[in-house]
């Protein structure tokens, strides 16, 4: 399928959705994920089959990913409810099937990812895709002008499991670009603690990716923060509305994670763009 290690993590995400949707009770209702996964697997090489589709995923990992997706869906639906006819942009969407899990009748929905990823997604979901896809890097700023050509208000930018893989200077520049180009909008994105992006901790994360996800060190954390408030300092147009971690969810697995002080090691920030 000729995907990078980072893009292959999108298949891990998809598999996690399917696994957790099949539990009883399910953590996530995502029937389209099963359709997408089946069609992707039919296209896989034997190497990809073994490394990406057959690699055993821990319940801690799959439940984390499903809980995170469920939370982001709730944030998206809440924004649509308050801003009918808004625009939702799923940045670095991978093989996400969020469109079918949200109130898609009351928003303009756009997905953005690298051309190779979206070409494959079009191939496996050709007859089901009923929204706009933009094949480009999120760091290529021309896409912003493309989506704001009619207006720049009431956008929700969704970056689930994306920014931590990108270079720190590029993420900060992108956030500043958002504050300059969007108005009366919001962004929801995941961050990790800065220590995971350097030294021994970075190597531990890379080893964890190899063992838990079956991908190489090409998938590694590069952007992190010590605390969420840093975002407001680097992009003064951003105002944090909420911070949330999957370990705070009642369904977190194993439950002991709620008591280990991990809430600000990997978490989600929702911010207003003024």
- Cβ 16 vs Cβ 62: under 8 Å: yes
pLDDT at 49 over 90: no
Q: Is the peptide bond before 67 cis (omega within 30 degrees of 0)?
A: no
Domains in the chain with CATH codes: 5-273 (3.40.50.150)
What's this model's pTM, rounded to 2 decimal places? Answer: 0.94
CA distances from 19 to 6, 14, 29, 182, 192 (A): 20, 9, 11, 37, 25
CA distances from 90 to 73, 139, 213, 228 (A): 11, 14, 23, 21
For 206-237, write each residue's pLDDT tens digit. Answer: 888 888 887 764 578 999 999 999 999 999 99
Torsion, Cα 30 34 36 41, to 10 degrees, reads: 150
pLDDT at 7 over 90: no
User: What per-residue confidence (pLDDT) applies to 110?
Assistant: 98
For 253-269, write each residue's pLDDT tens digit. Answer: 999 999 999 999 999 99
CB half-sphere exposure, 16, CA atoms < 13 A = 24
- Comparing CA positions, the residue from 162, 220, 164 lying closest to residue 5 is 220
User: What per-residue confidence (pLDDT) applies to 44?
Assistant: 84
CA distances from 261 to 66, 164, 228, 252 (A): 21, 20, 16, 14
For 127-160, write each residue's pLDDT tens digit. Answer: 899 999 999 999 998 999 999 999 999 999 999 9
> In whole angstroms, what is the distance from residue 233 CA to residue 209 CA?
31
Cβ-based neighbour number of residue 116 at 10 Å: 14
> In whole angstroms, what is the distance from residue 179 CA to residue 188 CA?
14
- Cβ 17 vs Cβ 66: under 8 Å: yes
2 — pLDDT class (breaks 50, 70, 90): low
Residue bearing tokens 């706009």: 132
Identify the DSSP state of 225. Answer: B
For 87-129, write each residue's pLDDT tens digit. Answer: 999 999 999 999 999 999 999 999 999 999 999 999 999 889 9
User: What per-residue confidence (pLDDT) applies to 210?
Assistant: 83
> In whole angstroms, what is the distance from residue 199 CA to residue 129 CA?
42
- Comparing CA positions, the residue from 114, 124, 70 lying closest to residue 94 is 114
- Cβ 174 vs Cβ 139: under 8 Å: yes
């Amino acid at each position: 399928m000729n995907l990078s290690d980072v893009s292959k993590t999108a298949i891990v995400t998809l598999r996690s959705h399917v696994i957790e949707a099949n539990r009883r009770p399910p953590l996530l209702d995502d029937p389209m994920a099963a359709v997408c996964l089946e069609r992707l697997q039919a296209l896989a090489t034997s190497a990809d089959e073994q490394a990406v589709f057959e690699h055993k995923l821990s319940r801690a990992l799959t439940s984390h990913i499903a809980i995170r997706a469920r939370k982001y869906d709730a944030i998206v639906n809440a924004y649509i409810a308050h801003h009918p006819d808004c625009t939702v942009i799923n940045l670095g969407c991978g093989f996400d099937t969020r469109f079918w899990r949200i109130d898609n009748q009351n928003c303009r929905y756009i997905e953005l990812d690298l051309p190779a990823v979206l070409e494959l997604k079009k191939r496996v979901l050709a007859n089901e895709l009923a929204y706009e896809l933009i094949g480009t890097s999120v760091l290529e700023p021309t896409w912003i002008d493309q989506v704001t050509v009619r207006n720049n208000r009431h956008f929700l930018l969704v970056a689930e499991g994306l920014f931590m893989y990108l270079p720190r200077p590029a993420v900060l520049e992108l956030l500043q670009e958002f504050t300059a180009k969007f108005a009366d909008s919001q962004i929801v994105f995941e961050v990790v603690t800065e220590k995971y992006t350097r030294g021994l901790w970075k190597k531990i994360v890379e080893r964890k990716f190899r063992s838990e996800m079956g991908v190489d060190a090409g998938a590694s954390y590069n952007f992190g923060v010590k605390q969420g408030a840093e975002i407001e300092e680097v992009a003064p147009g951003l105002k944090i509305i909420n911070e949330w971690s999957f370990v705070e969810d009642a369904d977190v697995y194993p439950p002991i994670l709620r008591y280990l002080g991990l809430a600000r090691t990997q978490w989600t920030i929702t911010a207003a763009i003024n």
